[in-house]
Structure 1
Amino acid sequence: MLTGKHYIAGEWVESDEKFSSQPVTGGAREFCIGTPALVDRAVAAAEAAFETYGSITRESRADFLEKIADEIDKRGEAINETGSAETGLPVARLEGERGRTVGQLRLFASHIRKGDYLDRRYDEALPDRAPLPRPELHMIQRPIGPVAVFGASNFPLAFSVAGGDTASALAAGCPVVVKGHSAHPGTSEIVAQAIAAAIVACAMPPGVFSLVQGGRRDVGEALVQHPLINAVGFTGSHGGGRALFDLCASRPKPIPFFGELGSINPVFVLPDAARNRAADIGAAWAGSLTMGAGQFCTNPGVVFVETASADAFISAAARALSETAEQIMLTDGIAEAYRSGAARLQNTGNLNEIVGRACPGRNALPYLFETTLDTWSAEHHLAEEVFGPLGIVVRVPSAENFADVARAFAGQLTCTLHVDEGDTALAKTLVPIVERKAGRILVNGFPTGVEVSDTMVHGGPYPASTNFGATSVGTLSIRRWLRPVCYQALPGELLPEDAIG
């Protein structure tokens, strides 16, 4: 049963103004609009909860994470029904995303039980050391306090209310205030209901989690500027993310803004691989490009292939893209932005449209463009992300050009190399270049699909993300919500339990 309300410090709270959801199927529902006053109430409760939650045992936090996962799974049918109606995503995609969401909650439970993330360090006392004695020193990672999380439009579960940012922050010991995304408010409420049930079952302080629905720009601004918020997690557009980043930096007490802002994720098809497999790689790339209507931040939007093999690659990709059926986009606004992005490219000289099929309304069909390296280098806007199933193939004159192309890129989430045996020497020159540009490097694959694991990095140099030393996926993401504390000469009864075992 959806209430249309906010969940704040253990209570379902109504506000005066409402907004209507925009579902693909079924009737619209009304949801309350957030306000700065509600943000203040939620953050104050989070600060109060931190005094308890930040110090409970890792076992208790792990049990809480696992209970959230169980409660989300209990609501699987409702999530499928509401999520599919709101977003147009097929049930199979939502079930897969739910599996990822509960999987990362359980992964973090296991991770904090092991305790490795604490990075414990110890220097024993040396009272007889000359010329000065050394005191006993302990160092561990400690939670930073209340965290703000912005739900993403393109992942109603895995990057939303109980997604990776929330899971890692709760694992670290930080209460969370989520600003829900208006693209899927019903799904957000169902997940909040699951967290609420887990809070009661595990006797957690009620302010450990709050959800503020919808809201205008002032709600997001109030959240990131609240003096009790200590860090922000965000997945979304470059424009929106950069605006919030600037607000975080301009606060009287600046805080870190961990924004994942998107990427075009370049693919380099090296010469031997192109000669041997151009058509196969082209068809496979088309499948990755159109997965989920291209609405992934890891969508491989541009391919570089040597001119001699480009025709075979383009022909195979065009054939596959021409056979792709219409797909529903997540919101009307995203669909309109996709059409605008395609139109911008259509008005670019020396950019040839190979496949171009516009769709009205909320549906999308793929676009494929091809151009020369000279045009790519001269038209800098071609390197801007178009969110949707749109790709550009760039003809590279010779193998010697690949390194210069890679050097010219701004920060990316991923970079892919397609390599055959004869490409090894060239690949060895490219890897040191692209590892400075991207958080994840792939060989002979495609970046859509992000494994949730200890080793995954989902981030990269700016503008892919606002903090090149962080990841929003994988167990390393917990480090965003921790800070090192050194305890000097504290007796054992005053040390945190985690500092001594």
Structure 2
Amino acid sequence: MTDFAPHGKHLIAGEWVAGETTFENEPASGASDTFSVGTPTHVDMACAAAEDAFWSYGYSTRAERAAFLNAIADEIEARAEAITDIGSRESGLPTARLQGERGRTTGQLRLFAEHITGGAYLDRRVDAALPDRQPAPRPEIRLMQRPIGPVAVFGASNFPLAFSTAGGDTAAALAAGCPVVVKGHSAHPGTGEIIAEAIHAAIKSCGIHPGVFSLIQGGKRDVGQALVQHPLIKAVGFTGSLAGGRALFDLCAQRPEPIPFFGELGSVNPMFILPNAASARGAEIGTGWAGSLTMGAGQFCTNPGIAVVEKGADGDAFVAAAKSALEKADGQTMLTDGIAKAYRDGQARFTGRNAVKPLLETKSEGRTANPNLFETDADTYLQDHALGEEVFGPLGLVVRVNSADDMRELAKGFEGQLTATIHMDDADADAARALLPVLERKAGRVLVNGFPTGVEVSEAMVHGGPYPASTNFGATSVGTMSIRRFLRPVSYQNVPTSIMSDDLRDV
């Protein structure tokens, strides 16, 4: 399949549904397409269908769900060229990036299929009956994880495939046995539509209830509000801005039945360059930082926006190398006009600020972003909260400190992060050992001698962290452990084997 022309409709319970009003996407290249605007009525239709689907899908076998996840991956791969074409036109992302992201999307679907087939995620436990125990007998008690019900997923702007329609949240929820209603991101509705077509084809080939997946496009805040407040929705997965995520989080908490909101919101992902590492290879680390900072125009939630390094010649070499590499970097197309404007506004927060030194200031126009670099000291950073706010784009801030001990005190002042990185040599072990307890309280993932912009989809990955990095520090949105968000433990006491599910019986 190479040609794809969006029809611009919502997919609701197996039917392509038009709306009364429309909007147009804003592609980075080529002509725009027209799409239906979602409404709270569409939300109600999708949620009702999801609840109806749960009574069969939520009690399907692990093998059936694994086959469904693999079928979705197959259908996505069958549309590979068309997905890359529409994704590139809408987002401006290069072909290689979208091909890699498509592989990640299908890979995580297949990983979840394998994960649930094994059954370990069910965390099954059995307390055998002790009828002769004194002073009171103990009944048999079995425990198993069960799906929670319909889940709402909000597509992300910066990952039109891996964090959107069939992304990690959708894959984890479907693997758990939860139907999904996706609120598509208006930055890439055509990409969302073709992925929805792939899921729709898998639903039909596997004989799954069509209400197991719906996609609602566009819409104002009323659509998002209606979705998170719908009484049939039992959890929400979200990747996006701190302001938008916090607003939805508050709505979830204010419901008559509050539900968990798993929001991945924002992070500056600080790096700490310890003294011996700076002395031995400061320039190398600085060049690597520049590469990570500008990867994908800096539009990664793990973008390392802050580097902490000591004052002095070694720190100067690190800064000089980073600046030199950034000066050579070309401007890059950002995902949307709105994101590009937000990047320019973020740069403006640093320009002309007291005790913030511009090291590299550039002008970005339209949808193009050029890198920028600033420097300040630890005291200024700790006193000015705005310096710690995420700038979504290729902007870096260097924070200079007097010693490794000062790094530890500075680290205590950071808010919650997705990642924190230590660059160290063997001679830095004592300083790193002192720093690590602080960083593990601040971040969901701690790296040593690397850059955080690559997030492995695996068993041990945590993509989350203390607020404001995410709204639930005990969860991850990447890796197989993310399935836990859409499960809850149920104990079964003295339940006869004749009415148990196979999963509970076969322990």
User: Where on the TM-score scale, by shorter chain, does this alignment land: which range?
Assistant: over 0.9
Q: Which residue of 1 aligns with 2:419?
A: 414
> Hey, what's the Cα distance between the residues in 2 that align with 1:79 and 1:356?
36
| Corresponding position: 1:260 with 2:267 | no
Amino acid in the other structure paired with 1:210: S
> Hey, what's the Cα distance between the residues in 2 that align with 1:420 and 1:454?
28
Match of 1:429 among 428, 431, 434: 434
SS, match of residue 404 in structure 2: coil
SS, match of residue 435 in structure 1: helix
SS, match of residue 441 in structure 1: strand
Task: Write the mapping of 1:367-446 to structure 2, written as runs, cut at 5 A.
Answer: 367-446=372-451
Q: Which residue of 2 aligns with 1:108?
A: 112
| Corresponding position: 1:35 with 2:77 | no
Q: Which residue of 2 aligns with 1:164?
A: 168
SS, match of residue 400 in structure 1: helix
Cα deviation per residue 1:52-100 (whole Å; 9 max; x = unaligned)?
0000100000000000000001111001110000000000000000000
Q: Which residue of 1 aligns with 2:18?
A: 14
Q: Which residue of 1 aligns with 2:304?
A: 300
> Hey, what's the Cα distance between the residues in 2 that align with 1:169 and 1:259?
15
Q: Which residue of 1 aligns with 2:237?
A: 233
* Mapped contact 1:413–1:460 kept (Cα < 8 A): yes
Amino acid in the other structure paired with 1:295: Q
Q: Which residue of 2 aligns with 1:336?
A: 341
Match of 2:457 among 449, 452, 455: 452
State the identity as a percent. 65
Amino acid in the other structure paired with 2:324: R
Match of 2:50 among 37, 40, 46: 46
> Hey, what's the Cα distance between the residues in 1 that align with 2:498 and 2:49?
29
- Runs of 4+ more than 2 Å apart: none
Match of 1:201 among 205, 220, 230: 205
| Corresponding position: 1:321 with 2:335 | no
Cα deviation per residue 1:370-427 (whole Å; 9 max; x = unaligned)?
1112221221210000000000011111122011011111100000000001100010
Q: Which residue of 2 aligns with 1:494?
A: 499
SS, match of residue 485 in structure 1: strand
Cα deviation per residue 1:443-490 (whole Å; 9 max; x = unaligned)?
000000100000000000011000000000000000000000000101
Q: How many angstroms does 1:2 deviate by?
A: 1.7
Q: Which residue of 2 aligns with 1:60?
A: 64
| Corresponding position: 1:81 with 2:85 | yes
> Hey, what's the Cα distance between the residues in 2 that align with 1:398 and 1:206?
60
Cα deviation per residue 1:119-173 (whole Å; 9 max; x = unaligned)?
0000111111111111111100000000000000000000000000000000000
SS, match of residue 288 in structure 1: helix
* Mapped contact 1:273–1:420 kept (Cα < 8 A): yes
SS, match of residue 394 in structure 1: strand
Q: Which residue of 2 aligns with 1:189?
A: 193
Match of 2:9 among 5, 18, 37: 5
CA RMSD in angstroms, aligned pairs only: 0.6
Amino acid in the other structure paired with 2:81: E
> Hey, what's the Cα distance between the residues in 1 that align with 2:498 and 2:435?
54
Q: How many angstroms does 1:191 deviate by?
A: 0.2
* Mapped contact 1:487–1:495 kept (Cα < 8 A): no
Q: Which residue of 1 aligns with 2:221?
A: 217
> Hey, what's the Cα distance between the residues in 2 that align with 1:221 and 1:140?
32
Amino acid in the other structure paired with 1:55: Y
SS, match of residue 195 in structure 1: helix
Cα deviation per residue 1:347-367 (whole Å; 9 max; x = unaligned)?
311111111111210000000
* Mapped contact 1:438–1:461 kept (Cα < 8 A): yes
Unaligned runs of 5+ in 2: none
Cα deviation per residue 1:171-193 (whole Å; 9 max; x = unaligned)?
00000000000000000000000
Match of 2:129 among 120, 125, 130: 125
> Hey, what's the Cα distance between the residues in 2 that align with 1:132 and 1:378?
61
Q: How many angstroms does 1:41 deviate by?
A: 0.1
> Hey, what's the Cα distance between the residues in 2 that align with 1:140 and 1:372?
52
> Hey, what's the Cα distance between the residues in 1 that align with 2:385 and 2:208?
51
> Hey, what's the Cα distance between the residues in 2 that align with 1:175 and 1:358?
46
SS, match of residue 376 in structure 2: strand
Unaligned runs of 5+ in 1: none
* Mapped contact 2:6–2:33 kept (Cα < 8 A): no
Q: Which residue of 1 aligns with 2:363?
A: 358
Amino acid in the other structure paired with 2:439: V
Q: How many angstroms does 1:344 deviate by?
A: 1.1
* Mapped contact 1:21–1:184 kept (Cα < 8 A): yes
Match of 1:91 among 78, 89, 95: 95
* Mapped contact 1:231–1:257 kept (Cα < 8 A): yes
Q: Which residue of 2 aligns with 1:465?
A: 470
Amino acid in the other structure paired with 2:325: A
* Mapped contact 2:10–2:18 kept (Cα < 8 A): yes
SS, match of residue 429 in structure 2: helix
> Hey, what's the Cα distance between the residues in 2 that align with 1:350 and 1:134?
68
Q: TM-score, normalising length from structure 1?
A: 0.99
SS, match of residue 428 in structure 1: helix
Moved more, 304-313 or 283-292: 304-313
* Number of positions where the alignment pairs a residue of Structure 1 with one of Structure 2: 501
> Hey, what's the Cα distance between the residues in 2 that align with 1:315 and 1:152?
35
> Hey, what's the Cα distance between the residues in 2 that align with 1:399 and 1:458?
27
SS, match of residue 487 in structure 1: strand
SS, match of residue 80 in structure 1: helix
SS, match of residue 342 in structure 1: helix
> Hey, what's the Cα distance between the residues in 1 that align with 2:411 and 2:456?
25
Match of 1:142 among 140, 146, 157: 146
Cα deviation per residue 1:243-262 (whole Å; 9 max; x = unaligned)?
00000000000000000001
Q: Which residue of 2 aligns with 1:475?
A: 480
